[in-house]
């Protein structure tokens, strides 16, 4: 999709199986919303074709596509009751008037709004309004449900509750769904498939587990989760196991991209996730790990179920190393300024050769 000389979406090709839940994830300006608007029919692609159920829909107007949409601002009618909002798409599609009431009741029960049918929109909580929007998008049994960051304005607790609700409703109905968000947790929680976009391009298309455990490039590794990135150059390669030289130390890791470029001296980016790093005041406790370093604690942040440490590790460069620490026993805290040891398994260091 081009806007003048600007290419908002660049060669984005993918498929989604019927009944699956796909999330398109990416930062602001990555092209994810533009891609969704093309699927919805609000924008016509500059090049390429969009097919739903095997039928090309490029020439089909947005209101003629069998698509339900939940917008970020919900776009509910404030002068109507909850039930009237949900019934609106059926009336517009000239659904059998004698069956509208029963269909609305069924979908209101599915989204757990039974008993609130007569309330006005301003009489409902934020979460209840979300459910009305979902019910309205699903009431006419669309082929495809599109979600355009509908949870972005909610507080964290309600947003996490609604993420689980979206997944429950989608699984119960089996409706094919495409969700757009910048929320990593939401993508991991609700999705069968995730696409990460940046600069208008699809960076990776994978299951949540694959995306998290085997990121396809440094951008994906750094965008999903809290990740430490280390620069270096390739020393040797055996299968997909590589030896890396940084400024002060050699590291072992696993090659994740561009095997054709994996030659001695090639520039690489290495990534290790915060939760894969162990921390201890006693170096002996880390014996057997693939890499062990000494560092100094510069910050400790309590996050409830875990502690986030920031450390200065001279051998790994000037950037702080971030570590998630889970301790089910006593949550003993390493004090600021104290020397500690950190380490990780070689298999947890993802290595990417520059393209």
- Comparing CA positions, the residue from 87, 80, 78 lying closest to residue 108 is 87
Give CA angle at 74 (6, 27), nearest 5°: 35
Measured from the Cβ of residue 54, the count of other Cβ atoms closer than 10 Å reads 5
Q: Looking at residue 317, what is its pLDDT?
A: 87
Contact 320, 298 (CB under 8 A): yes
Q: Is the pTM of this model over 0.95?
A: no
Q: How far apart are CA 23 and CA 25, in angstroms?
A: 6
Distances (CA, A) of 30 to 2, 13, 50, 197: 13, 15, 19, 6
Q: Which helix (H) or strand (E) holds 226?
A: none
Q: Looking at residue 334, what is its pLDDT?
A: 86
Longest Cα–Cα distance in the chain: 76
Alpha carbon 280 to chain centroid, angstroms: 32
Contact 236, 243 (CB under 8 A): yes
Buried b (16+ CB within 10 A) or exposed e, 197-228: bbebbbbbbbebeebbeebbbbbbbebbbebb
Q: Looking at residue 328, what is its pLDDT?
A: 61
Q: Looking at residue 239, what is its pLDDT?
A: 87
CATH-assigned architecture of domain 225-353:
Beta Barrel (2.40)
- Comparing CA positions, the residue from 319, 74, 297, 35 lying closest to residue 178 is 35
What are the domain boundaries of the chain?
A: 2-213, 225-353
Structure-block tokens of residue 331: 């949550």
Structure-block tokens of residue 44: 């016509």
Superfamily of domain 2-213: P-loop containing nucleotide triphosphate hydrolases (3.40.50.300)
Q: Looking at residue 206, what is its pLDDT?
A: 97
Q: Looking at residue 304, what is its pLDDT?
A: 78
Q: Looking at residue 347, what is its pLDDT?
A: 93
pLDDT string in tens for the chain (355-residue length): 999 999 999 999 999 999 999 999 999 999 999 999 999 999 999 999 999 998 999 999 998 899 999 988 888 999 999 999 999 999 988 889 899 999 999 999 999 999 999 999 999 998 899 899 999 999 999 999 999 988 887 888 888 888 888 899 999 999 999 999 988 989 999 999 999 999 999 999 999 999 999 999 999 999 998 999 999 999 998 888 999 998 779 999 999 887 777 888 899 999 999 999 999 999 999 999 999 999 999 999 988 778 899 999 999 989 999 999 876 665 567 889 989 999 999 999 999 998 7
Tally: H helices and E strands in the chain: 8, 20
Q: How far apart are CA 157 and CA 146, in angstroms?
A: 23
Alpha carbon 26 to chain centroid, angstroms: 7
């Amino acid at each position: 999709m081009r806007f003048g000389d600007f290419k908002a979406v660049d060669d984005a090709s993918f498929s989604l199986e019927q009944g699956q839940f796909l999330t398109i994830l990416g930062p602001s300006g990555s092209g994810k919303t533009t891609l969704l608007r093309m699927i919805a029919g609000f924008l016509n692609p500059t090049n390429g074709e969009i097919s739903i159920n095997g039928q090309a829909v490029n020439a089909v107007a947005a209101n003629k596509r069998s698509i339900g949409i939940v917008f970020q601002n919900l776009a509910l009618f404030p002068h109507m009751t909850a039930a009237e909002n949900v019934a609106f798409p059926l009336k517009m599609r000239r659904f059998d008037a004698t069956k509208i009431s029963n269909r609305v009741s069924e979908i209101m029960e599915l989204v757990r709004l039974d008993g609130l049918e007569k309330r006005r929109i301003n009489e409902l909580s934020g979460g209840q309004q979300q459910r009305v929007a979902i019910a309205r998008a699903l009431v006419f049994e669309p082929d495809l449900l599109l979600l355009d960051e509908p949870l972005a304005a909610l507080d964290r607790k309600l947003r996490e509750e609604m993420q689980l609700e979206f997944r429950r409703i989608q699984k119960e109905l089996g409706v094919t769904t495409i969700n757009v968000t910048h929320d990593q947790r939401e993508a991991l929680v609700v999705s069968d498939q995730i696409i990460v976009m940046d600069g208008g391009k699809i960076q990776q298309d994978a299951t949540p587990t694959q995306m998290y455990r085997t990121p396809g490039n440094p951008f994906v590794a750094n965008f999903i989760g809290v990740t430490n990135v280390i620069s270096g150059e390739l020393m040797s390669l055996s299968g997909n196991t590589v030896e890396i030289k940084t400024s002060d130390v050699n590291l072992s890791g696993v090659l994740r991209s561009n095997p054709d470029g994996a030659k001695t001296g090639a520039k690489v980016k290495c990534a290790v996730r915060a939760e894969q790093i162990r921390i201890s005041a006693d170096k002996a406790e880390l014996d057997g790990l693939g890499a062990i370093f000494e560092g100094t604690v510069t910050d400790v942040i309590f996050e409830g179920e875990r502690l986030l440490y920031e450390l200065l590790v001279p051998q790994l460069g000037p950037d702080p190393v971030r570590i998630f620490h889970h301790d089910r026993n006593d949550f003993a805290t390493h004090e600021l300024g104290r020397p500690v040891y950190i380490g990780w398994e070689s298999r947890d260091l993802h290595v990417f050769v520059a393209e």
